[in-house]
Structure 1
């Protein structure tokens, strides 16, 4: 499972946070039905529409209703988070939820503004050569790690180097940036990476073998301390880093105070943060399962994410002390086929299962219109989005039956289709939540009507679902992506082997072509073709684009939703009235 670039705060529709690193490297699975990171959409947050008619920030109407429990917290904010695994080191995370934690512990060399334009973070500035092959980063002289040690170019070089180590098996694909000499280092043919040059303690340059449209953000991610994470480093040996996950040394706005699995993650302000110590001393992620509405209404938590249904928004408005911010996440939901299984290697079967599923009822109608059907691996807000030449796979049981007939699956005496003595059964795995319940109920009926038996398995926690997914013991799994910044983010899973059993050389060719130019119009043409190929191959049943609303305590000021980074860039600016 790939983790990717940015550690982005993400809010799932149930209200707990889900995080994932998101960037061109990753399509890290998130629990199905989740809105993507606390990142919003690439449209202006003040004009984002929901099914309820809420189109802009609605401020709390009666802050006096704030429960006493919340009033007593004068230096602490509490937010819900799905239980992370504890791997809080960037690049080595086990799930997007770990990234939710590390996004407060680490900063990046480069971030993006609300328009998606790269801007400096730990780097004070950066330069790109005329041939677009050499990137030079000028670090801030006041940058330090949380232990007080200085952050220098050597730390950046170390971070880039271990991501090329042959033992690195995490999800961050720095190799895709094609740093000169990177492959030679990975293969053990060189002691250092030729393209990385430490010019002085505050300056480092890196030279690529070829142009890469996403190189700046790929290179500009989190920085690890060489003194801390590199003291035991030997080429080909990275297991030692696992022992450091629980005691991270970062450079972000907060330090890890305590992690109690299944209960909470506690943070305390980092006095060495380069922007200065944040104004809210303590931040807590509550990982306890429960009713998010209840947690927010009683003041146990200060923030929640919900589907933007009329019922939800009406209920949130009545609470009185909550600010409501609508958004449409820059991600997509999907059902992934396991094409290592013989039955699903047949494109006709995958297409039949797509035609045979009433996605509108499952994802739109059941959510009071707080979603739109997806058919390609990019959000509607992306500059690459297109419907030209895209099959919408409208619900069509007769078409599904026709495809299965042609594929040799004939109806048996019990109504379930058979081929070569094998029944057409689909083993689905998903999270234990209302949206999954709706899917199972409708899908079982839909599929039974075309002669397919759906067997469903649900998991109460996301880590268990991921473990089952990694084992390969499934036919169909439900996920959503993290926030997608670049079009390449949404298609990397079809290239890097994450989609089990899927290997179309044309996809890899188009993926590389889409990164080989910085010309937006040329890239649009490439992604249009790429989406058409994926749409035809049907390695996923694309499900929906979710519409959500953030509800947060009206005493919080400085709340800002970056369309590409979400709350991770906003939390350090928060204050409490």
Structure 2
């Protein structure tokens, strides 16, 4: 799972066990198959976590179907991260990545009847710059409006992530955001509107189609129902019995879903890893030696992990970037083969033959439960004593990212636009670079990346990739997939999700 944006991080800090209540009161089956005889009626999707309210700045990309139902963005990013028209029917980015001009569609309206015009887009950018966990991404944008349908956004220096940020931006009615009650009900311009009378927070959210939406044909269902079911067994049962048309599942229930005749869409877009962010050794001196970091890589039999622990549903990898992205190196061989004896020699060379103690944070229920004992066992082979720090409660993610623990253990997604991976995982202000340490080599290449178009930055992105592999900033354990199970009665197009997490709302046909 990708866990990089402020709203997204907030979204995974709570787990609500409402599955049985959701299902016991349910009499409707998912009706995505309603096309037989009279058009498509209802699409019923499962969510493994509750939504985090309706504020436009608190909308995650992970399982963000509710957000996509009610909110538009100025542009959307396709599966490779490239910008495509959305509320803006056309746009022009400055070649030096310092700004963009957007030309909005005519006639769009928010659900309260106010127009989606240049003033509304400006208000949404300014609101995003003052609210939510991602405010820093928008606060320095300057917005001017030459006319009602033209928006000019400038940035004080080159920002290669400008298109990605505008894909994240949710457009909301200025009246709605100004009223200060953004969590009561959403007021956006999306393909659906919330049916509050058929919604129970924490359990079920119901939406009705906005027939006046500019791209209504891409959303064929008259009604969208999202059920919050956090128990995976309950999710599989709901899929089997037709109470859900689709939901995310994991390797643990993959075989059950297959046996039940469900269709499964897989997206290989995650790498489970240890993030060695203290590569200067400021908090844990041993981590400042590259030989220690390399030794940590060499005690894991990645082939065996992929085959046995992940049931053959993962592949070994030496790099953190998504296959096909600009930073990915096709012919990169793993420089750290499984070799415990060689790892011990590296530890001795670094002066740490006797090892050291390393505290690693861990959260239950995030797909790492079976892997954590393996991490402890294998690192013990080179005398690294792992103290497992179990994090829980509403502050677990913020504690994980606080910098207190310089080696987070997580399965992180890979963006279609690999510049986002570099920004989040490698730059000193990256949210997952929890030690926030500078590196001259990374900074040198990032400076060059920042001032050119994405397609011209591949050489420098790959140089960064080679560098962090050589310096062993990560211990990549496996390239894993997100699995989305769905009824054979609905058509799920190849995913358009730039985060590579799951089908987006427009993929359900």
TM-score relative to the length of structure 2:
0.79
Deviation by residue 1:354-388 (Cα, 9 ceiling, x = unmatched):
22233333344322322122322311122431156
Is 2:410 the counterpart of 1:479? yes
Q: 1:206 to 1:288 in 2, by over 3 A?
A: closer
Is 2:312 the counterpart of 1:394? no
- State the 1:539 CA deviation: 3.2
Is 2:146 the counterpart of 1:206? no
Name the counterpart of 1:251: 189
Q: 1:392 to 1:107 in 2, by over 3 A?
A: farther
Name the counterpart of 1:515: 450
Aligned residue for 1:251, secondary structure, equals coil
Whole-angstrom distance in 2 between the partners of 1:539 and 1:260:
45
Name the counterpart of 1:528: 462
Whole-angstrom distance in 2 between the partners of 1:290 and 1:569:
18
Name the counterpart of 1:50: none
How do 1:29-428 residues align onto structure 2 when only pairs under 5 Å count? 70=29, 75-84=41-50, 86-93=52-59, 97=62, 99-113=64-78, 117-128=82-93, 135-165=100-130, 169-170=133-134, 173-174=137-138, 182=140, 193=142, 196-208=143-155, 212-225=159-172, 227-228=174-175, 230-231=177-178, 243-257=181-195, 263-270=203-210, 273-276=213-216, 279-291=221-233, 292-306=235-249, 312=254, 315-320=256-261, 322-325=262-265, 327-337=266-276, 339=278, 341-343=283-285, 345-348=287-290, 349-386=292-329, 391-411=334-354, 417-418=355-356, 424-428=357-361
- State the 1:556 CA deviation: 1.8
- State the 1:107 CA deviation: 1.6
Aligned residue for 2:371, secondary structure, equals helix
- State the 1:343 CA deviation: 4.2
Q: 1:262 to 1:453 in 2, by over 3 A?
A: farther
How do 1:438-477 residues align onto structure 2 when only pairs under 5 Å count? 438-458=370-390, 465-474=396-405, 476-477=407-408
- Answer whether contact 2:79 2:497 (CA < 8 A) is retained: yes
Whole-angstrom distance in 1 between the partners of 2:75 and 2:327:
23
- Answer whether contact 1:429 1:465 (CA < 8 A) is retained: no
- Answer whether contact 1:350 1:539 (CA < 8 A) is retained: yes
Aligned residue for 1:282, secondary structure, equals strand
Q: 1:296 to 1:432 in 2, by over 3 A?
A: same
Q: 1:128 to 1:425 in 2, by over 3 A?
A: closer
- Answer whether contact 1:86 1:98 (CA < 8 A) is retained: no
Name the counterpart of 2:20: none
Q: 1:526 to 1:97 in 2, by over 3 A?
A: closer
- State the 1:203 CA deviation: 1.5
Whole-angstrom distance in 2 between the partners of 1:544 and 1:171:
33
TM-score relative to the length of structure 1:
0.70
Q: 1:285 to 1:344 in 2, by over 3 A?
A: farther
- Answer whether contact 2:77 2:167 (CA < 8 A) is retained: no
Whole-angstrom distance in 2 between the partners of 1:244 and 1:531:
41
Aligned residue for 2:92, secondary structure, equals strand
Whole-angstrom distance in 2 between the partners of 1:441 and 1:254:
45
Q: How many residue pairs were aligned? A: 477
Q: Which runs of 5+ in 2 are unaligned?
A: 13-25, 35-40
- State the 1:83 CA deviation: 1.8
- Answer whether contact 2:353 2:382 (CA < 8 A) is retained: no
Q: Which has the higher contact order (CA 8 A, sep 6+)?
A: 1
Whole-angstrom distance in 1 between the partners of 2:70 and 2:4:
14
Q: Which runs of 5+ in 1 are unaligned?
A: 1-11, 13-18, 32-66, 176-181, 184-192, 233-239, 412-416, 419-423
